[in-house]
Amino acid sequence: MPTPPTSTGSGLNSDPIAVAAHELRTPLGPMLALCDLVLAGPLDETQRARILALREAAEHLRATATTLLERARAGTDPMSPSGDEPFDLAALLDMLAQGYAARAAAQGLGWEATSEGDFGMGVAGDAVRLRAMVENLADNAFKATRRGSVRLHAEIEPRGEGRCLRVELHDGGPGLPEGGAEPLFAPYFTGDAAHGAGLGLAVLRAFGEAMNGRVFARNGEHGGAVFGFEVPLRRAKARAEQLAAPPVEASPGVRLTVLIAEDNPANAQVLSVLVERFGHRPLVAGNGAEALARVEAGGVDLVLMDAEMPVLDGFAATRAIRALAEPHSGVPVIGVTAHGVGAQGVEGHGGEAEARFRAAGADAVIAKPLDVAELLSAIAAVAPRQA
């Protein structure tokens, strides 16, 4: 076997925001894949709704981390709006409400969600920022409420050429302090009131202002406090599809022996389950050198190659596989990276990780957190070579 080349590192920018966002993305792969696997099995209506809410929360984390990575690379303000795409506002709020109902039950609190206006109207805006604003409101309300109930109320109404969304969270807490709500919106507020500890309300205000909206707070009519926001939304030309998880189905055709080169045990386990669900046989290698040895030994039809591994990284291991004698050198390799792919990849400069995998000889490159449908499609694209 040829001597494994030395890994040279990824050469990635060490910006602390980018590094933190990258680390946040890493555990989301197994979380999303496990949700998909559970959703593929028998569930009652309540169980399915809860798993969908969990999956959507993980998707939101992925989108937020990806946005932070992109903005850190570009040097832009992470608080500014990041998109203006059509999205299903009713489905988003319903999904959030399901999660809050479970949180209320766990805390022994009452929960109510009401709405007013035409939520069937297609809208466009920054769904990632909007979700973060609602979640910050809800987190603030649940922290403030020791007993009683929490209520979410959402309204949508025409405003000019677009729509305006108003969201309020009514809590069962002590109400606003005597000095009013303004200090609660300050970053790192550490007063003894239940509201505003940390960054939640400060982020809420920053997002609201960036989206040309406003935030507000008042005492409730029957106790507690009401925190909320108003933001404009553009009317969408096309409606977004309902939020849903992709199906997990077996791949048609040949059964492959798929080598999973992955040093994270949780990721390796989830990938193994997915590969089996797709109708293939999984093998696991804990680093690039081990993966190279398994390929040279024969019997491997395809490699899922993680980018960052000890001993030998995925780029060097892919180059080493291509340097083997036939037929081992022709084994298809799918690069897997947590740093984004595509011309607008979060690496910047056209997607550095994808470019390095392509240069090393990878047949395809997919991003973490893994999308089940994308993984299945990538395997299917290279599988015919083994027929």
Q: What is the pLDDT of residues 161-204, one digit of tens each?
A: 778 899 999 999 988 888 777 877 776 555 544 443 445 788 78
pLDDT digit string (tens) for 330-341? 999 999 987 655
3-state SS class at 200:
helix
pLDDT tens by residue, 37-54: 788 778 888 888 788 878
Answer whether residue 13 shows pLDDT above 70: no
Give every CB contact of residue 238 below 8 A, 6+ residues apart in sequence.
86, 122
> How many Å apart are CA 274 and CA 267, to the nearest integer?
11
Question: pLDDT digit string (tens) for 355-379?
Answer: 999 999 999 999 877 777 788 888 8
Confidence of residue 233 (pLDDT cuts 50, 70, 90): confident
Distances (CA, A) of 199 to 66, 73, 140: 20, 23, 10
Topology at the third CATH level for domain 247-386: Rossmann fold (3.40.50)
- Three-state DSSP class for residue 152: strand
The whole-model pTM stands at 0.59
Letter string b/e over residues 281-306, b meaning 16 or more CB atoms within 10 A of that residue's CB = ebbbbbbbbbbbebbbeeebbbbbbb
- Which of 113-117, 192-196, 291-295 ranks highest by mean pLDDT? 291-295
In the chain, CATH 3.30.565.10 covers 76-235
User: DSSP labels for 108-143?
Assistant: T-EEEEEEES-TTS-EEE-HHHHHHHHHHHHHHHHH
For residue 5, give Cα distances in angstroms to 2, 291, 317, 355: 9, 13, 8, 19
**Is the separation of the CB atoms in 375 and 276 below 8 Å?**
no
Assigned architecture for domain 76-235: 2-Layer Sandwich (3.30)
Domain(s) of CATH 3.40.50.2300: residues in the chain = 247-386
Q: Which of 317, 339, 335, 319 is nearest to 375 (CA)?
A: 335
Q: How far apart are the first and last CA of the chain?
A: 27
Mean pLDDT, the chain, whole residue set: 79
Which pair of structure tokens corresponds to residue 54?
Answer: 């969990």
The answer to whether the CB of 171 falls within 8 A of the CB of 228 is no
